[in-house]
């Protein structure tokens, strides 16, 4: 087995193996479980980073195992430039979620299950991005869903967690089933489940392309929480424990984007995708504005940030829908930046909740004086999500906005830019109400160091990513030859 | 393929009497009875696997052996070229072997074990005879043997009123089915003058058609197709765990396969048969899954899950008949095997919890993972496989079916594909409930298991469970081996259709 294959397997198997060990032997190591989980996710990130030279040299070969020849199923793992940005996001977010969770859980009885499931969740996401055949893709896609549901059911914050988890599971599973149907429709045509042969097979059934394309877009749109498939998101994000919320909002939402980029947008050519361009842009604008308005009227601070995700996913879909160079690069960059900023904002929200014990925005007043560090971080995150220049999200928003004007649909492009004004409104309401009102919060509880570390380091990342976009940009641009027939 | 199916039948019959006599007069202990039974099932299993070598050996050393056998013992009654029956019998034998081992501990505290093992052996004997026979009358007799043993075994714990009721209900419904079966056979005999399947001609006569429908109705009761399924949840809920496992794991599917084989051999129109099966199967998926959602007892829940799974299996075969696709039929056999292993594993682990905690309700599963953690992992794996979560065998079977259904792109195939997807989605509601209770619920007063970690689970229970877990993992890693095994069976069914 070559070094390359070892690394690829390692990124996945370290997490799965550690999860298995934690689940079985976790009760014997007690509180050390969290350090095992954190160490594993760092090791996994390290392995992934060690793969970049191979990727740069263009030497990556899929790792394959024969599985079920009768049905042409061959398990295959690969990291290419298209999976790179998503894998990077996911690995980093996992580490931040782990750091955040270090002092989060209170009763230590079943903690090792929490960390095991968090690792499985993370492995599901890395597997989804690394899979190179639909069988494995679907397997990891479901693994991700099951792990997150179990986390939600068991560590949810209120009594309604069972019902919310069920709603989450059923709606997103419906999306997965649509994707599965699309997969199988192409797969029966090719007889082999490898991505490249599927792409060739899809071109032999041009009459089914509209159907398959819509199944993919709707299926992945559910995972992306686009309006009107977003209904699972606000409940789920506000119910989940904070580390899981960070994983869900920052990493799992981007899996829907990955699915759209990986399947319809790389299987089909520019002409074939042109049909979907307008619907995608409209859906993007609708999600953006709807999410922002809902964020404006919510009073629960966790739900405000959750609706902000719906809005941000709208930007991403709009960018993808323009089918232009800057739109696609901008959307991919937006995924990464959004992950950083959204993780930061949820960390801040978690900090506020931990410190004040309240979630209603009208009850939280004047934290600015008492907690300067928190207010600095939150303001930074708020400015970033509002698209202030030189902070992370500005670069990608710029690209997405400019892509809109390269399409014939000027009205939509203008609506998109104006819609971003709503983002400023809801995020300033949030910051202003929490930190800069005159009232006083009676009591502020001490907050664990791990939460502070996670928040501050994410703020640092927001600034660094905003000031130095070039390295990331250079990496992300490499995905373009894989998309829409590669004719850029 | 099996040249002499009668050998294992006679062997099992002999062993049944032997075990009964030994238990009665030598008063041997439960463990010994279990071991003898298990050993005899193992012998039969080995006979299935390497009959060729055995016959070669006999031919060299006893040249007259083959003539004696064909001439003397039941000539022309048994069908020797049906790979599907062999496949199902091998699964049944394997399960019976594991369940006899399991019963060594499980029945330790019950009385009347001298009745249990002979009944189990006779049930398997009847089951195999029914699958292998080529003669309608023999089939009826063997079918009765199987059913009567099954009724008795369901009511084995006779100091439990509910068990008696379940057994009695099964007996009443099953007897009606048997009478209908007998009437059907009589009609066919009257019209054609023979009961030998290979000799029956003129099947377009009205009496033969009516007879076929009666056979179909009778077997659809025995394989628990809605609306004739009502006996099943009771029977599975109250039978000893091993018996529930074997009833739900392979017996139903065996009845179903026999029905398919008889109907096809007699030349029933495959489209009519497939239409009937699709209707029944869709009802099964609907009723099984919806009723599964509201159950409170683990074993009844597993019973309803069996009804739903019978629906999936029925759909696979129905679509296979309709489109003449080998892949769909293969997926049916694959699902039978996957379901047999996963469902019996679930029943056996639940039986362990019953044995040690007296756990019958779903909420009794709470904190049960205090007892040997391996058991709850095994239960988890089996439930995930039943719920068709990739990459476990249950998912592979459905994937195969979906592949064949979407290849055909024909109305009913698509409907059934959607039914299977929707059914799996609904079924997650109850499967996840089981897992949630087992792994994640905190202890209540009712389920305080703090002393459980000191209890040692008996080795007789752990061995079969380990074997089944190992089998599931083996199929997960190498599904191709099972897929290869099902191919001759699927091709045999295709051949019957022509």
Mutate to test the interface with A, among B293, B414, B421 (most CBs of A within 10 A): B421
Q: At residue B452, does pLDDT exceed 80? A: no
- Closest C-alpha to B156, from B232, B233, B235, B99: B235
- For chain B, what is the radius of gyration of the CA atoms? 22
Rounded to a whole number of angstroms, the CA Rg of chain A reads 21
DSSP, residue by residue, A73-118: EEEEE---TTTHHHHHHHHHHHHHHHHHHTTT---GGGHHHHHHHH
Contacts of A95 (CB under 8 A, 6+ apart): A38, A41, A42, A45
Residue-level pLDDT at B66: 65
Q: In the predicted model, what is the mean pLDDT of chain B?
A: 89
Q: In terms of Cα–Cα distance, which of B280, B284, B308, B135 is closest to B213?
A: B280
H or E segment to which residue A67 belongs? strand A63-68
Q: Are A454 and A96 in contact (CB under 8 A)?
A: yes
Q: How far apart are CA B309 and CA B424, in angstroms?
A: 10
Cβ(A284)–Cβ(A416) under 8 Å?
yes
Q: What is the DSSP string of B35-80?
A: HHHHHHHHHHHHHHHTHHHHHHHHHHH-TTHHHHHHHHS-TTTB--
Beta strands in A422-486 (DSSP E): none
Say yes or no to pLDDT of B378 above 90: yes
Q: Which pLDDT belongs to residue B301?
A: 95
Element (H, E) at B412: helix B411-439
Q: Which residue has the tokens 């499967």?
A: B431
* pLDDT for position B428: 86
Q: Which residue has the higher pLDDT, B207 or B203?
A: B207
Q: According to the model, what pLDDT value does residue B68 have?
A: 65
The SS3 of residue A360 is strand
Q: How many domains does chain B have?
A: 1
| Total H helices, total E strands in chain B | 20, 0
Please give the average per-residue pLDDT across B252-258, as a whole number. Answer: 95
B365 within some domain: yes
CB B325 within 8 A of CB B260: no
For residue B421, is it within any domain? yes
Q: Given this model, what pLDDT does residue B70 score?
A: 61
- What letters, b where the CB count within 10 A reaches 16 and e where it falls short, cover A340-354? bbbbbbbbbbbbbbb
Domain extent listing, chain A: 1-268, 275-488
How does residue A31 score in pLDDT terms, banded at 50, 70 and 90?
A: confident
CB contact under 8 A, B440 and A153: yes
* Overall average pLDDT of the A265-292 stretch: 92
How far is the C-alpha of A309 from the C-alpha of A252, rounded, in Å? 11
C-alpha distances in Å from residue B114, one per residue of A380, B105, B107, B446: 79, 15, 11, 35
pLDDT at B71 > cutoff 60:
no
The Cα A447–Cα A453 span in angstroms is 11
For residue B189, being part of any structural domain is answered with no
Chain A hits for B330, CB-CB cut-off 8 Å, are 70
Partner residue facing A154 (CB), from B373, B425, B440? B440
Residue A297: pLDDT band (50, 70, 90) is very high
Mean pLDDT of B407-419: 85
| Chain CA centroid to CA A326, Å | 20
Q: pLDDT grade, residue B65 (50/70/90)?
A: low
Rounded to a whole number of angstroms, the distance from the CA of B421 to the nearest CA of chain A is 7
The CA-CA-CA angle for residues A48, A49, A54, to 5°, reads 90
pLDDT of residue B74: 59
Which class for B39: exposed (0-12), middle (13-18), buried (19 or more C-beta within 10 A)? middle
Cβ–Cβ < 8 Å for B228, B172: no
Per-residue pLDDT, B94? 95
Interchain CB distance below 8 Å, A169 and B396: no
- Comparing A382-386, B203-207, B376-380, which segment has the lowest mean pLDDT? B203-207
Question: For B198, which DSSP code?
Answer: T
pLDDT confidence of residue B76: 67
Q: How far B477 CA sits from the closest chain A CA (Å)?
A: 7
Inter-chain CB proximity B407 and A188 less than 8 Å: yes
Does some domain include residue B22? no
For residue A442, the model assigns a pLDDT of: 67
CA–CA gap between residue A243 and residue A2 (Å, rounded): 35
Q: What is the 3-state secondary structure (H, E, C) of B131-164?
A: HHECEHHHHHHHHHHHHHHHHHHHCCCCCCHHHH
Higher pLDDT, A222 or A30: A222
Chain A residues with CB under 8 Å of B436 CB are 150, 153-154
Checking if the pLDDT of A313 tops 90, the result is yes
Candidates B407, B473, B491, partner chain A, best to mutate (most A CBs within 10 A): B407
When mean pLDDT is compared across A38-47, A60-69, A177-186, the lowest value belongs to A60-69
Q: Which residues of B touch A169 (CB under 8 A)?
A: 428, 432
Cβ contacts (< 8 Å) between A174 and chain B: which residues? 425
Q: Before A115, cis peptide (omega within 30)?
A: no
The model's pLDDT over A165-195, given as tens digits with 9 standing for 90+, comes to 888 988 998 899 899 999 988 988 888 888 8
Q: Which helix H or strand E contains A66, and what residues bound it?
A: strand A63-68
Rounded to the nearest angstrom, the gap between the alpha carbon of residue A230 and the centroid of all alpha carbons in its chain is 14
- B200 pLDDT more than 90: no
d(CA A381, CA B436): 37
**CB < 8 Å to A163, chain B:** none
With beta carbons less than 8 A apart as the criterion, state whether A185 and A212 touch.
yes
B234 within domain boundaries: no
Beta carbons of B440 and A135 less than 8 Å apart: no
Digit-coded pLDDT (tens) for B330-372: 999 999 999 999 999 999 999 999 998 888 888 888 877 777 7
Residues in chain A: 488
Lowest mean pLDDT: which of A273-277, B168-172, B435-439? B435-439
pLDDT confidence of A455, banded at 50, 70, 90?
A: very high
| A interface test, pick of B323, B432, B443 with most A CB neighbours within 10 Å | B432
Distance CA A105, CA A90 (A): 22
Q: ipTM score of the complex? A: 0.81
d(CA B494, CA B498): 7
Closest residue by Cα to residue B144 from B185, B103, B87, B198:
B185
B227 touches chain A (CB under 8 A): no
By C-alpha distance, which of B83, B78, B105 is closest to B10? B78
A205 vs chain B: nearest CA distance in angstroms?
13
* Whether the predicted pLDDT of B442 surpasses 90: no
CA distances from B224 to B231, B383, B434 (A): 8, 21, 23
pLDDT for B80 beyond 80? no
Q: Determine contact, residues A169/A149, Cβ cutoff 8 Å.
A: yes
Is residue B322 domain-resident?
yes
Assess contact for B139 and B133: CB atoms under 8 A. yes
Closest residue in A to B328 (Cα–Cα): A71
Cα dihedral B27, B29, B34, B37, rounded to 10, equals -20
Nearest neighbour of A139 by CB, restricted to B373, B391, B428: B391
Task: Give pLDDT, residue B497.
Answer: 82
Mean of pLDDT values over A380-398: 90
Place of tokens 């030998």: B196
**Does residue B288 lie within any of the structural domains?**
no
Confidence band of B25 (pLDDT split at 50, 70, 90): confident
CB burial of B223-238 (b: ≥16 within 10 Å; e: otherwise) equals bbbbebbebbbbbbbb
Distance CA B236, CA B219 (A): 18
**Has residue B266 been placed in a domain?**
no
Arithmetic mean of pLDDT, B261-267: 87
């Amino acid at each position: 087995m070559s070094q390359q294959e070892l690394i690829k397997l390692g990124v996945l198997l370290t997490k799965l193996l550690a999860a298995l060990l934690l689940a079985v032997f976790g009760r014997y190591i007690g509180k050390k479980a969290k350090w095992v989980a954190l160490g594993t996710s760092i090791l996994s990130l390290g392995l992934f980073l060690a793969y970049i030279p191979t990727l740069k040299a263009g030497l990556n070969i899929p790792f394959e195992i024969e599985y079920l020849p009768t049905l042409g199923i061959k398990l295959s793992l690969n990291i290419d430039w298209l999976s790179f940005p998503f894998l990077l996001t996911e690995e980093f977010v996992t580490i931040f979620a782990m750091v955040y969770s270090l002092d989060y859980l209170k009763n230590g009885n079943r903690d090792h299950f929490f960390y095991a499931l968090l690792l499985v969740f993370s492995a599901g996401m890395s597997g989804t991005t690394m899979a190179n055949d639909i069988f494995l893709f679907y397997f990891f896609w479901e693994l991700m869903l099951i792990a997150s549901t179990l986390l939600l059911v068991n560590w949810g914050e209120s009594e309604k967690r069972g019902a919310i988890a069920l709603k989450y599971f059923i709606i997103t599973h419906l999306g997965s089933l649509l994707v599965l149907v699309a997969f199988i429709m192409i797969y029966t045509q090719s007889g082999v489940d490898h991505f490249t042969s599927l792409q060739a097979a899809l071109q032999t059934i041009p009459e089914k392309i509209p159907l398959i394309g819509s199944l993919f877009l709707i299926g992945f749109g559910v995972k992306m929480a686009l309006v009107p498939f977003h209904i699972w998101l606000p409940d789920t994000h506000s119910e989940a424990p904070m580390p899981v919320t960070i994983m869900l909002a920052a990493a799992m939402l981007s899996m829907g984007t990955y699915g759209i980029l990986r399947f319809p947008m790389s299987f089909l050519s520019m002409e074939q995708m042109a049909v979907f361009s307008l619907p995608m842009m409209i859906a993007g604008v609708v999600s953006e504005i709807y999410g922002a308005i809902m964020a404006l009227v919510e009073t629960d601070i966790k739900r405000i940030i959750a609706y902000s995700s719906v809005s941000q996913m709208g930007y991403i879909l709009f960018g993808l829908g323009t089918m232009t160079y800057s739109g696609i690069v901008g959307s991919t960059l937006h995924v990464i930046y959004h992950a950083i900023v959204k993780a930061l904002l949820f960390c801040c929200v978690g900090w506020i909740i931990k410190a004040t014990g309240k979630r209603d925005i009208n009850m939280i007043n004047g934290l600015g004086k008492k907690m300067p560090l928190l207010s600095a971080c939150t303001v930074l995150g708020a400015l970033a999500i509002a698209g202030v220049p030189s902070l992370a999200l500005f670069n990608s928003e710029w690209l997405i906005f400019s892509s809109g004007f390269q399409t014939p649909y000027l009205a939509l492009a203008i609506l998109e830019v104006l819609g971003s004004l709503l983002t400023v409104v809801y995020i300033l309401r949030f910051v202003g109400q929490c930190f800069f009102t005159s009232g006083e919060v009676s009591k502020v509880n001490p907050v664990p160091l791990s939460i502070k570390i996670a928040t501050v380091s994410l703020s640092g990342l927001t600034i660094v990513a905003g000031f130095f976009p070039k390295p990331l940009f250079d990496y992300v641009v490499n995905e373009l030859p894989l998309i829409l027939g590669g004719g850029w | 393929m099996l040249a002499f199916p009668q050998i294992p039948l006679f062997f099992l019959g002999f062993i049944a009497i032997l075990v009964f006599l030994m238990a009665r007069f030598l008063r041997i202990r439960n463990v010994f009875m279990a071991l003898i039974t298990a050993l005899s099932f193992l012998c039969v299993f080995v006979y299935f696997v390497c009959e060729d070598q055995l016959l070669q050996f006999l031919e060299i050393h006893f040249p007259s052996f083959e003539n004696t056998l064909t001439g003397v013992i039941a000539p022309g009654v048994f069908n020797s070229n049906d790979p599907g029956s062999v496949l199902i019998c091998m699964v049944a034998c394997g399960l019976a072997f594991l369940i006899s081992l399991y019963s060594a501990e499980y029945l330790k505290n019950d009385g009347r074990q001298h009745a249990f093992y002979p009944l189990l052996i006779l049930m398997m004997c009847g089951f195999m005879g029914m699958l292998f026979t080529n003669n309608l009358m023999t089939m009826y007799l063997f079918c009765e043997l199987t059913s009567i043993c099954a009724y008795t075994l369901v009511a084995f714990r006779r100091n439990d009123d509910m068990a008696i009721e379940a057994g009695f209900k099964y007996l009443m419904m099953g007897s009606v089915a048997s009478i209908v079966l007998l009437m059907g056979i009589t009609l066919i005999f009257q019209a054609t003058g023979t009961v030998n399947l290979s000799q029956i001609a003129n099947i377009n006569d009205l009496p033969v058609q009516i007879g076929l429908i009666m056979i179909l109705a009778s077997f659809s009761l025995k394989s628990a197709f809605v609306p004739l399924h009502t006996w099943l949840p009771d029977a599975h809920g109250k039978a000893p765990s091993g018996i529930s496992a074997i009833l739900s794991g392979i017996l139903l599917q065996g009845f179903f396969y026999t029905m398919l084989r008889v109907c096809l051999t007699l030349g029933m129109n495959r489209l009519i048969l497939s239409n009937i099966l699709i209707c029944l199967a869709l009802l099964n998926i609907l009723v099984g899954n919806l009723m599964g959602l509201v159950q409170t007892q683990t074993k009844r829940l597993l019973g309803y899950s069996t009804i739903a799974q019978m629906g999936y299996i029925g759909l696979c075969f129905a679509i296979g008949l309709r489109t003449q696709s080998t892949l769909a039929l293969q997926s049916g056999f694959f699902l039978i095997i996957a379901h047999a292993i996963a469902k019996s594993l679930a029943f056996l682990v639940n039986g362990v919890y019953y044995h040690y905690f007296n756990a019958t309700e779903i909420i009794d599963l709470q904190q049960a993972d205090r007892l040997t953690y391996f058991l709850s992992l095994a239960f988890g794996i089996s439930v995930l496989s039943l719920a068709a979560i990739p990459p476990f065998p249950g998912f592979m079977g459905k994937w195969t079916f979906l592949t064949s259904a979407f290849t055909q792109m024909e109305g009913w195939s698509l409907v059934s594909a959607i039914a299977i997807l929707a059914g799996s989605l609904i079924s997650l509601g109850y499967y996840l409930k089981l897992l949630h209770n087992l792994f994640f619920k905190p202890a209540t007063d009712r389920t305080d298991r703090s002393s459980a970690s000191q209890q040692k689970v008996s080795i007789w229970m752990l061995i079969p469970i380990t074997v089944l877990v190992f089998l599931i993992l083996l199929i997960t890693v190498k599904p191709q081996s099972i897929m290869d095994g099902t191919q001759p069976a699927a091709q045999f069914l295709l051949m019957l259709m022509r």
